[in-house]
Structure 1
Amino acid sequence: MASAAMLDRTDPELVPTGAALGAELRGVDLRRLDAAAFAALLDAWHRHSVLLVRGQSLSPDDLIAFSRRFGALDHAPIQENGRRFVEGRPELYVVSNVLGPDGQPIGSLGAGEAVWHTDMSYLPRPPKASMLYALEIPPSGGDTHFACMAAAYEGLPPDLKARVQGLKVKHDGTYNSGGFLRAGVTPTDDPRAAPGHLHPLVCRHPETGRCMLYLGRRRMAYVDGLDLAESEALLDVLWQHATRPAICWRHQWRVSDLVLWDNRSTMHRRDPFDAAARRIMHRTQVKGEAPPMA
């Protein structure tokens, strides 16, 4: 995977995590990838679903430029305080618990737990990729966990695998992953009436061809066509299976880490951390080219 134009330090090395997903790419500067090196990175990402690249020096514009190599970018979603995005950089989403000089949060999601989810899956065409870049991290906590949805599907018992074929699940758009109500949404206690979008419960990855579960987030989810109790029971079984430690990987952040994940084939969550500590991350999202397909 070496390319003379891409390197400032050593030859790049891809080191799998040893878990069901994830690999670390070492010895690379993401600001200086030539076409061949980027193609190799893209292939590694498709194979491992999550890539970690440590020791990067990415300005906001550098992060946006690297992200655009994967496709067109989404604009950042509205923050809990009603702010839309960073001035002059609509693609940049700030994930932080830090308060600005005006006493308002400079970003979203606070310091609490962010539950298992797939980014923006309540949209008709969810983003295909997300990446997070660490600027400040707390002394402890705030780790991010990833779950492999291809391994989740492949490990289903045969009867359950047959049962989920052809089903669609409602991906709720009421709350974000931090549990905050989305701007302009009126909550309901009935998942069948909640805002969101139906997607196939079993999807096929457009690049790798692997089948995978596509669950989104548990809160207010609903399996279309089932009565509510049956839907809840089935989802409980699937979620317990899909978030087993055996098919997950935990990332402990360092400053200057960049993590890129495939939003189609993974779920992720964040551990809580001390609200008195500072955590500042920059995130971008790459638009999906098509809706998730069965």
Structure 2
Amino acid sequence: MATAAQIRLSAENVKPKIGSRILNTKEELLSGELAAELRDLLEQRGVLVFPTINFTDEEHVAFTKTLGTFAPEMTDKDKDEHVVHAITLDEKVNPGSAIYLKGSLFWHIDGTMNDLPIRASLLACKVPSPKGTGNTGFSNTYAAYDALTEEQKAEFDQYKVRHGAWATLMYWSPEPDQTLLERMQAIGDVEIPLVWNHESGRKSLVIGNTAHTISGKNHFDSTRILNWLRTHATKEEFTFSHEWTVGDLVIWDNTGTMHRAEAYDPACGRMMVRTKLEGEEPIQ
């Protein structure tokens, strides 16, 4: 009796140290048979790109669930079913929430204040911004850590860093409204290791625009060191910028990858939808 042929993962590197392009069909991806291989590749490469896969919202959610536990967005938790979450800076489309997304224009890791930062985000393009704007940049913080000297690793492995959502406000509004500042500070402020010792045995840098102070160091030295680390981690060899086409899907490993939206006109109509995977290990 004939047996069904095994589905094989088809992938190619985007750059040597970050990113893989996945070439499998929609049907192959939705089958779930490639889920384990995709998770392994995501951890190795940081970012997976699925060019013009054109998932419907329902397929986007279904695919997410093949890879791990679906993580509802805060504003969607009152809904009866898991849904994709709209991402846009246009306040007419996303009133009340768009202002918090302005920090996404600068390098960051999602959920650094959470006990378990999300495992990954899956972002799909519905409407791109005009060509040359609105790309999403990615930085492999595993590779950036690996490239440090042994002396630097020994130093940075000891550091703990204060992280707070309020610190992102200073990137786009350095003289903020006091009410907004206090609202952002109410989200919380935590101390976590600068270097994430993963259960896999690998290490990655936990940096980005939520990081504001190295514990035990003054503001002057903290800023100098954190700025150097961000500059190091966003070198050409550790990063790539994805230019969106309608139907693209991109997954990034939030535990070892920074990301940012590159500048675009908030009124241009750019519309993305996102799902997330629940976190699986604390920063330690």
- In the superposition, the TM-score normalised over structure 1's length comes to 0.80
**Corresponding residue to 1:218 among 209, 218, 221:** 209
Q: The residue matched to 1:186 in structure 2 has which SS?
A: helix
What is the CA distance between 1:12 and its match in structure 2?
Answer: 5.1
Correspondence list, 1:1-294, <5 A: 4=5, 13-29=10-26, 32-78=29-75, 88-89=80-81, 92-98=84-90, 105=95, 108=98, 114-140=105-131, 141-174=133-166, 179=172, 186=182, 195-207=188-200, 209-215=201-207, 217-218=208-209, 221-293=212-284
What is the CA distance between 1:277 and its match in structure 2?
Answer: 1.7
Ranked by relative contact order (alpha carbons within 8 Å, sequence separation 6 or more), the top structure is: 2
Taking the aligned partners of 2:196 and 2:137, their CA distance within structure 1 comes to: 22
Q: 1:224 to 1:73 in 2, by over 3 A?
A: farther
Taking the aligned partners of 1:72 and 1:176, their CA distance within structure 2 comes to: 28
Q: 1:175 to 1:12 in 2, by over 3 A?
A: same
Q: For the Cα contact (< 8 Å) 2:119–2:253, is it kept in 1?
A: yes
Taking the aligned partners of 1:219 and 1:290, their CA distance within structure 2 comes to: 19
What is the CA distance between 1:34 and its match in structure 2?
Answer: 3.3
Taking the aligned partners of 2:217 and 2:262, their CA distance within structure 1 comes to: 33
**Please, which runs of 5 or more residues in structure 1 have no aligned partner?**
79-83
What is the CA distance between 1:197 and its match in structure 2?
Answer: 2.0
Q: The residue matched to 1:239 in structure 2 has which SS?
A: helix
Q: For the Cα contact (< 8 Å) 2:125–2:272, is it kept in 1?
A: yes
Q: 1:113 to 1:171 in 2, by over 3 A?
A: closer
What is the CA distance between 1:21 and its match in structure 2?
Answer: 0.8
Q: How well do the aligned residues superpose, as a CA RMSD in angstroms?
A: 3.3
Taking the aligned partners of 2:56 and 2:78, their CA distance within structure 1 comes to: 13
Amino acid at match of 1:264: T
Amino acid at match of 1:124: D
- In the superposition, the TM-score normalised over structure 2's length comes to 0.82
Structure holding more helix per residue: 2
**Please, which runs of 5 or more residues in structure 2 have no aligned partner?**
none
Q: 1:276 to 1:34 in 2, by over 3 A?
A: closer
Q: For the Cα contact (< 8 Å) 2:69–2:277, is it kept in 1?
A: yes
What is the CA distance between 1:48 and its match in structure 2?
Answer: 1.1
The alignment covers a number of residue pairs equal to 274
1:121-169, Cα deviation, whole Å (9 max, x unpaired): 1212211111101111122211011111111112223332221112111
Q: For the Cα contact (< 8 Å) 1:86–1:92, is it kept in 2?
A: no
Q: For the Cα contact (< 8 Å) 1:114–1:272, is it kept in 2?
A: yes
Identity %: 26
Amino acid at match of 2:195: V
What is the CA distance between 1:227 and its match in structure 2?
Answer: 2.5
